[in-house]
Chain A
Amino acid sequence: MKQQENPQSAIRNPQFSAATPLKIVFVGHVDHGKSTLIGRILHDTDSLPDGKIDMIKKACAAEGMEFEFAFLLDALLEEQKQNVTIDTTEIAFRTSRRNYIIIDAPGHKEFLKNMITGASRADAAVLVIAADEGVREQSRRHAYLLRLLGIKQLIVVVNKMDLAEFSEKRFAEVESEYRKFLIDLSLEVRAFIPTSAKTGENVARASEKIKWYRGPTVLEALDLFEPRKADVDLPLRFCVQDVYRFDQRRIVAGRIETGTLRVGDELVFSPANKSSVVATIERWNAPADGAAMSGDSIGITLSEQIFVERGYVASHQSDTPIETNRFHADLFWIVREPLRVGRLYNLRLATQEVKCQVVSIEQVMDSSTLEAKIDKCEQLERNEVGRLTIQTRGPLVIDNHERIPNLGRFVIVEEGGIRGGGTIFGGVYTDRRVAKSQNIFWSEGKITARERAVRSGHRGAVVWFTGLSGAGKSTIAQALERELFNRAMHTCVLDGDNVRHGLNSNLGFSPEDRVENIRRVSEVAKLMADAGAVVITAFISPYRMERRRAREIALEGNAEFIEVFIDAPLEVCETRDPKNLYKKARAGEIRDFTGIDAPYEAPEDAEIVVRTDRQSVDESVATILEQLLPRLKADEPND
């Protein structure tokens, strides 16, 4: 049946339905007729703007060329010159059943990155094979990539049947060869259709010339595809994009990748493993709604102010993601410069970004023959697919691709550009051993602070706590140290316990000795920060003068100095009195005790202030982290 005869196709412009169109990608070997098939579909479904065909016919005449349906797509002049589709194009059409968007993917070998860009957004795929040439390299490679990209709905069009005399035998040969390949890939195919796009056989109408074929036409087969469903039945994965504080609200913004989220739900944030309850779901100029589902870009507020940052993944306690720093993946590589074992790359998964290294390449797959090459496992060339093991610098929150695709796929990034993409097929849950460095890019000479920062992923710094005895310095310092350590950062705490007994064992508590104590701590902190560590010092350090000196010493060593005021009123500290020091001071057993008979000069311009009489330890640590982490970022201009 011709599409024009269908009364429902009277809606001429396919953009006009309010329903989400089905996205289809067309793939296949170069010159097998993808563009012609698309041109034919547009023509036969009456989906072209007025004058388009005339315009192209004129252009063809001007260049002395014969009109072809494929030209409809090659709207750019350059493309027509090269006679190769250079990039993905999107065009809409509609059948009596629904709307479609065609993503025209190119067949030229060099344009793999464009094919992936197009195909990654598709709901379904049409793979075109020319009957005369048969199954070729890209016929196989593209099917392999479709599987890696997670596209499960596929039809195969055996085109150019006119060049094979509409032979049933030829069609059966191509079908049988390709079916075998698809079975090895475990890709399911919905239909094999013999066509001639040039004359429209079996595209919109059943062919008179291919009477031996009784299956669906291309349009009928397309109409059997199913739209992608929202993944509401999968476990909740809410990926944090950012935390906003534009007004008094602290809004955790992000997208729900899978599952559903409701006000009142207790969420677990990975990798920190802190939990909090959803207080509100925030939307601007939209009706209040107590629930959101996969695909929704939302913001939430939490009832307890735990630390949350970009990259965190919220889930329900009953079904948390894997947290690991080592996993296996299949990875495709799309740039000229090969992927190398041991080289440091950035890895992005949902909104997470961490440094990573490929520990080993177990197998390099020829995506055209599906043969594994085991002889070369030090690098992955462009257009190759490798099965490999990756180790990340910090904890990464993942799922296996088979279970939750959005959390099971990642890209490898260098200098801000995407170099390859991979799917995860097995997280190793507990193995946190640091792999021996396989870094093969040595450089010589003095190691700069920048090099250290790039290596460790953060800058060295002195985080100087000050506050009264009993204000909570040591407790918060230890909790902060743990948080930094969990982020794979180099960190340590200097406090009375580890300094007084060794380095400063010859010092007492006289005013001069206290000053010398702080001076030595300042110098040690500088050296450690210079070595790349985030040093947290926890001393009362009551005088502005000595804190200023500590800052100057740190700055001499080019280390960042961040003063943190651990603030609590004297009465509160005296009530806490964890070491009974206030009691002893009040009794006169200790002299020159800060707050009692020696002054405490509160900071006037501390970088960070926490109030431990109002904030819990967790809240204090969250406040510090929020302001500290951005200052520790390694400064990489192209990263």
Chain B
Amino acid sequence: MTATTRTHLDELENQSIFIFREAYRAFKNIAMPWSMGKDSNVLIWLACKSFFGKVPFPVLHIDTTYEFPEMLEFRDWATKQYKLNLIVQINTEARARGIGYETHDPVTVTHELKTVALQQALAEYKWDALITGIRRDEDPTRAKERYFSPRNAQFEWDYKDQPPEFWAQFASAPAKGEHVRVQPLLDWTEVDIWRYIQREEIPIPKMYFARDGKRFRSLGCSPITHPIASTASTIDEIIAELEGTRTTERAGRAQDHHERNAMQKLRAKGFL
């Protein structure tokens, strides 16, 4: 690679790999939540790049039991493809209590089936760091994130008092009960993700591409994730479509709109 050929994507990739390796070294017990969404698959890809073909820590799927069948199919295929150590976590206790989209509001259900399920997994496996696919451009609350972002024992994100982070040095010592969110995609934008998927030919679920005039821009639980009107059936068409739009990426995710500051509330409680 020479100075003239390095692109913005190369720079993002280099930075993400650096962060992956710092995290792998800094923490004893790491896991990587994996939603099978596009960002999540980019993370897996970057982990392979960082560790030369091996993902050296478990990947965690928080199964809400409202997953699209196509996503589960993709999960099983990719688990074999990348030789992943897959852990599936379901909040069976909440489901037994009858928590579900049929009867409860999306914020409650998301909290129970995603955040609480994650807390349960953390309590069981005692991970000290989670590698997540958070990007700064996703939501205003995420603009203020760090590459290494501590969460306290109650899972809260103290966005008013975050550790300083400069010169490629990160806060790396969670106290007992705390864990650190490691965020290698922080500097990436939605379009960077697509361009990288295109360049690297990263496998992603087919639901991102238009069928019958509709496609999913962001993927969550099936009852509350709605496709957008679209004819984009290739990555080039998706990028062209995104260039013309000004609505936000998560516009199709119902839990974000249910009440004012929903995203901020979810995040302060530990939502990814």
Contacts and interface: CB of A to CB of B under 8 A. Distances in A.
Interface of A: 11-13, 15-16, 18-21, 49-51, 75-78, 86-92, 113-114, 116-117, 120-121, 149, 229-230, 232, 241-242, 244, 246-247, 249, 251, 253-255, 282-286, 289, 291-293, 295-297, 299, 310, 334, 348, 350, 406, 409-411, 413, 415-418, 421, 637-639
B1 A89 contact: no
A92 B187 CA distance: 11
Contacts of B79: none
A415 B191 CA distance: 38
B21 interface: yes
B200 interface: yes
Interface stretch (B8-16, B34-42, B70-78): B8-16
Contact of B52 (A12, A284, A406): A284
B25 A75 contact: no
A293 B162 contact: no
A434 to B, nearest CB: 27
A116 B162 CA distance: 12
Contact of B21 (A51, A242, A415, A638): A242
Contacts of B171: 416-418
A121 B45 CA distance: 26
Contact of A49 (B163, B243, B246, B264): B246
A467 B1 CA distance: 49
B144 A87 contact: yes
A296 B174 CA distance: 29
Nearest to A638: B173
A297 B48 contact: no
Contact of A89 (B14, B144, B176): B144
A232 B3 contact: yes
Given A284-B52, A296-B14, 18 more contacts: A18-B195, A20-B8, A75-B141, A77-B264, A78-B160, A86-B144, A117-B165, A241-B25, A249-B52, A289-B1, A297-B18, A348-B169, A406-B167, A413-B169, A416-B172, A416-B174, A418-B164, A638-B173
Nearest to A115: B164
B14 A120 contact: no
Give the interface size class of chain B. 35 or more
Nearest to A20: B8
A185 B5 CA distance: 37
A51 B257 CA distance: 15
Contacts of B140: 75-76, 89
Contacts of A113: 163-164
Contact of B173 (A12, A229, A230, A416): A416
A244 to B, nearest CB: 6
A285 B9 contact: no
Contacts of B163: 113, 417-418
Nearest to B190: A15
A90 B143 contact: yes
B162 A255 contact: no
Interface in B232-271: 239, 242-243, 245-248, 261, 264
B7 interface: yes
A588 B152 CA distance: 73
Contact of B49 (A116, A285, A348): A285
Nearest to B140: A75
Interface in B25-65: 25, 45, 48-54, 56
Question: Which are the 3 A-B pairs with shortest beta-carbon distances?
Answer: A416-B173, A120-B166, A75-B140
A418 B21 contact: no
Interface of B: 1-3, 6-9, 11, 13-15, 17-18, 21-22, 24-25, 45, 48-54, 56, 136-137, 140-141, 143-144, 146, 159-160, 162-169, 171-176, 189-192, 195, 200, 239, 242-243, 245-248, 261, 264
Nearest to A119: B166
Contacts of B146: 117
B141 A297 contact: no
Given A11-B243, A16-B191, A75-B143, A241 B18 contact: yes
B1 A297 contact: no
A242 B24 contact: yes
Contacts of B243: 11-13, 16
Given A244-B51, A334-B164, A348-B169, A295 B8 contact: no
Contacts of A293: 1-3, 6
A638 B174 CA distance: 7
Nearest to A87: B144
Nearest to B202: A285
Nearest to A422: B167
A283 B164 contact: no
A49 B169 contact: no
Contacts of B8: 18-21
A120 B164 CA distance: 10
A292 B8 CA distance: 16
Given A77-B261, A90-B143, A416-B172, A18 B1 contact: no
Contacts of B3: 229-230, 232, 293
Contact of A409 (B167, B172, B173): B167
A20 B11 contact: yes
Contacts of A230: 3, 6
B175 A284 contact: no
A255 B18 contact: yes
Nearest to B21: A241
A114 B174 CA distance: 20
17 contacts: A13-B245, A13-B246, A75-B143, A76-B144, A114-B162, A117-B164, A246-B51, A246-B54, A247-B54, A253-B21, A282-B52, A284-B49, A291-B2, A293-B2, A297-B15, A297-B21, A299-B52
Contact of A242 (B25, B162, B169, B200): B25
Nearest to B186: A90
A295 B11 contact: yes
Contacts of B15: 297
B7 A421 contact: no
A18 B173 contact: no
A20 B17 CA distance: 18
A18 B9 CA distance: 8
Nearest to A257: B168
Contacts of B17: 297
Contacts of A76: 140-141, 144, 159, 264
Contacts of A310: 25
Nearest to B13: A297
A16 B174 CA distance: 37
Contacts of A247: 52-54
Nearest to B19: A297
A247 B247 CA distance: 46
Contacts of B168: 350
Nearest to A419: B164
Nearest to A112: B164
Nearest to A254: B21
Nearest to A120: B166
B162 A87 contact: yes
Contact of B166 (A21, A116, A254): A116
A91 B143 CA distance: 8
A246 B56 contact: yes
B190 A49 contact: no
A59 B54 CA distance: 49
A347 to B, nearest CB: 10
A413 B170 CA distance: 10
A295 B48 CA distance: 19
A263 B24 CA distance: 26
B222 to A, nearest CB: 27
A282 B53 CA distance: 11
Contacts of B49: 283-286
B7 A18 contact: yes
A220 to B, nearest CB: 24
Contacts of B176: 637
A114 B164 contact: yes
A333 to B, nearest CB: 11
B167 A411 contact: yes
B160 A86 contact: yes
